[in-house]
Amino acid sequence: MDADWVNRSSLTSISYQCGFCENKIASNQGFFSRNYIPGNSDNGYIYICPLCEQPTYFCDESRTPAVAPGNNVAEVPSDVDGLYVEARRCISVGAFTASVLASRKLLMNIAVTQGANAGQSFVQYVEFLSSSGYVPPHGRGWVDHIRKRGNEATHEIPAMTEADATELITFIEMLLKFIYEFPAKVPAAKPDEHA
């Protein structure tokens, strides 16, 4: 983005990680409210990232967008990756329940692409991924935890916390690496290695 922001002001320089380009940056450019008092967290202010020119809103010691948890994973099909990015971005704007719902849909889609039958429950898909070898031996605790949380929400949509949403992203990132990224990085075997 090459934004030409109008009436930008010089502010006290701060350092933060940009939620858009994810670079660690320092900025002294942005906008402040008319009753802005430096150091008073009740007053909102907006800083512009000097690298990508995107604005981040700071107020009451929180910020929007925050940095999305999780990391990009290589070799993931675009439709799966799109939903993974969406689930991560939901967390960065405080939409934790929406993130959990997107993550559950993502896990179901991944399971079906790996051979699970359509029309099963979320918990059955998690079990399928585990029994198919996509979860490492010491990751069994993850499966038990996610299954328990999934069962709690079967007939209702309780509000989910940031921790709930973030741990699902962590689990999905691990799965995506096992299913897509690591297999694509296997070095091609030399002919004599088959002997």
Q: Specify the stretch interacting with Zn ion by CB under 5 A; choose among 14-22, 76-84, 113-121, 146-154.
A: 14-22
52 binds Zn ion (CB under 5 A): yes
b/e for 62-74, b at 16 or more Cβ within 10 A?
ebebbbbbbeebe
**Cα separation of 132 and 192, whole Å?**
31
∠ CA 119-100-86, nearest 5°, is 95
Shortest spacing between CB 25 and Zn ion, in angstroms: 6
Q: Specify the stretch interacting with Zn ion by CB under 5 A; choose among 40-48, 49-57, 101-109, 121-129.
A: 49-57
Angle between helix axes 140-152 and 162-176 (nearest 10 degrees) is 130
Q: What CA–CA distances, in Å, run from 155 to 65, 85, 138, 158, 163?
A: 31, 26, 30, 9, 21
For residues 50 and 158, which CB has a smaller minimum distance to Zn ion in the complex? 50
* Residues touching Zn ion, count (CB under 5 A): 6
Q: Which of 3, 13, 17, 21 binds Zn ion (CB under 5 A)?
A: 21
66: closest CA among 57, 76, 75? 57
20 binds Zn ion (CB under 5 A): yes
18 binds Zn ion (CB under 5 A): yes
Binding pattern to Zn ion, positions 174-193, x when CB under 5 A? Answer: --------------------
Q: Which of 46, 49, 73, 83 binds Zn ion (CB under 5 A)?
A: 49
Beta strand segments in 33-133, E: 45-48, 55-59, 62-64
112 binds Zn ion (CB under 5 A): no
Interacting residues toward Zn ion by CB under 5 A: 18, 20-21, 49, 51-52
